[in-house]
Amino acid sequence: MPDTQLTAPRAVAIPRRPGLWRQGWRRLRRNRSGMVGLTLVGLLVITALLCPVLAPYDPNDQSAMIDYAANAPPNRAHVMGTDRMGYDVASRVIYGAPTALAVGVGAMLVASLIGTILGGLSGYAGGIADELLMRFTEFFLVIPVFIVILAMVRLFGIIVVGTPLENVPYLNLGTIIMLLGIFGWPPIARLARAEFLRLKQAEFVEAARCIGARPRAIVFRHILPNALPSLIVVVALGTGGAILAEAMISFLGFGDPKAVSWGQLLYFNYGTLRVAPWASIAPGLAIFLSVLGFNLLADGLSDAFNPRTRR
């Protein structure tokens, strides 16, 4: 108890910051939906990383066509059956994982960078800068993003014909990722702005100013770390959204023909839904589970990062 000290130590070791993330992790572990989400996301990541090892066939292997084994239901040779072009469904689904992950993570990286900077600036600076940036954000929100992305993908594909860029591998996919990022930043910016506004007025920020801390130090050492939990949650949600968006783009035929993507599998195979439903169900299920995983993870993280709910 504070009043019954005998002697004070001469020096106190300055502790390294151990446990806030660990405490958050512990809280996440107790949250069931969060753990389910984490498991699903973990499965996605492992599949993506180990796809050459896990896939029984090469994704471009159409050998099944040769023995009239195309459109075959799941059997011993092909665990998830084959589709109308003789591809092994299971292998293509597995190889779709890295694509999905690349899209989700890539798009969110771009979006969160742009969104945090713009939103943070807006919230912290206030005044005219805030007004301008908010109008800018609203502009992006009003645009029918999906249509624009489709148009730009097609346009870009036409433009690069005949230029050296044409031979860049997965250019189309890269374009999609960039565009999803560029159009996906407004919700993050909105949240970043809200968080920065709130934290700017927090009493501990005022205390830091009172001590004499510079604005830059305040932003990076006080405001950003406290805004991070909310931002992480939005980013997790956004990742699921980006995967879904890419699936939609590919399903409509605008995807990268060279990349293996779940949406594209649907695009190829939905015509044969009656004959070979497994070729559509498998990628559809993969999309569903991935997006669900990110959503549940976002849910769990949101609960875990809220230390107030204890008291």
Partner 1 sequence: MIAVESLQKHYPIRRRGVFRRRSTGAVRAVDDVSFTVASGETLGLVGESGCGKTTTARAMLHLIEPSAGRVLLEGEDVLAVFRRGERREELRLRRRMQYVFQDPYLSLNPRWTVAETILEPLRVHAHVPRAQWEERLAHLLDLVGLEAAHAARYPHECSGGQRQRVGIARALAVEPGFLICDEPVSSLDVSVRAQILNLLVELQERLGLTYLYISHDLASVRFIAGRVAVMYLGRIVETANVETLFAHPRHHYTAALLAAIPVPDPDTRIVRAVVAGELPSAMNIPPGCRFHPRCPAALPRCREIDPPLELAADGHLVACHNPR
Partner 2 sequence: MSEALLQAEDLRVHFFTAAGVARAVDGVDLSVGARETLGLVGESGSGKTMTSLALLRLVPPPGRIVGGKIRFEGQDLLARRRRAMQAIRGKRIGMVFQNPAHSLDPLMTIGAQLVEVLRWHERLTRTAAETRAADLLALVGIGDARVRMRQYPHELSGGMKQRVCIARALLCNPVLVLADEPTTNLDVTIQAQILDLLHDLKDRLRTSMILVTHDMGVLARMADRITVMYAGRICETADARTIFRTPQHPYTRALLESVPRADRDYGPTGRRLPAIRGRPPDLVHPPSGCRFHPRCPEAGEDCRALLPLEFPIAPGHTVSCLRRGSPGVPT
In sequence order, the 6+-apart residues with CB closer than 8 A to the CB of 79 are 56, 90
Q: Write the interaction track for partner 1 spanning residues 278-307; mark x where CB under 8 A is met and - where it is not.
A: -----------------------------x
Q: Total residues contacting partner 1 (rule CB under 8 A)?
A: 34
Among 161, 164, 203, 309, binds partner 1 (CB under 8 A): 203
Looking at beta carbons only, is 202 or 273 nearer to partner 1? 202
Nearest distance in Å: CB 23, partner 2: 12
Q: 94 to each of 47, 98, 123, how far by Cα in Å?
A: 6, 8, 42
Q: Write the interaction track for partner 1 spanning residues 6-45; mark x where CB under 8 A is met and - where it is not.
A: --xxxxxxxx-xxxx-------------------------
* Contact assessment for residue 81 and residue 72, using Cβ atoms and an 8 Å cutoff: yes
What are 203's two structure tokens? 């009493």
Looking at beta carbons only, is 19 or 169 nearer to partner 2? 19
**What, of partner 2, partner 1, none, does residue 288 touch, CB below 5 to 8 Å by kind?**
none
**What, of partner 2, partner 1, none, does residue 203 touch, CB below 5 to 8 Å by kind?**
partner 1
Q: Does residue number 225 form part of the binding site for partner 1 (CB under 8 A)? A: yes
Helices (H), the chain: 20-30, 32-49, 51-54, 89-125, 127-142, 145-159, 171-183, 185-200, 203-211, 215-217, 224-251, 262-269, 278-304
**What, of partner 2, partner 1, none, does residue 258 touch, CB below 5 to 8 Å by kind?**
none
Looking at beta carbons only, is 2 or 164 nearer to partner 2? 2
What 8-state DSSP symbol labels residue 82?
A: B
* Contact assessment for residue 107 and residue 235, using Cβ atoms and an 8 Å cutoff: no
282 phi and psi, to 5 degrees?
A: -60, -55
Nearest distance in Å: CB 28, partner 2: 12
Q: Does residue number 222 form part of the binding site for partner 1 (CB under 8 A)? A: yes
120 phi and psi, to 5 degrees?
A: -65, -45
Q: Does residue number 127 form part of the binding site for partner 1 (CB under 8 A)? A: no
Q: 162 to each of 121, 156, 158, 165, 178, how far by Cα in Å?
A: 41, 12, 9, 8, 22
Q: Does residue number 253 form part of the binding site for partner 1 (CB under 8 A)? A: no
Binding site for partner 1 (CB under 8 A): 2-3, 5, 8-15, 17-20, 202-204, 206-214, 217, 222, 225-226, 307-308, 310
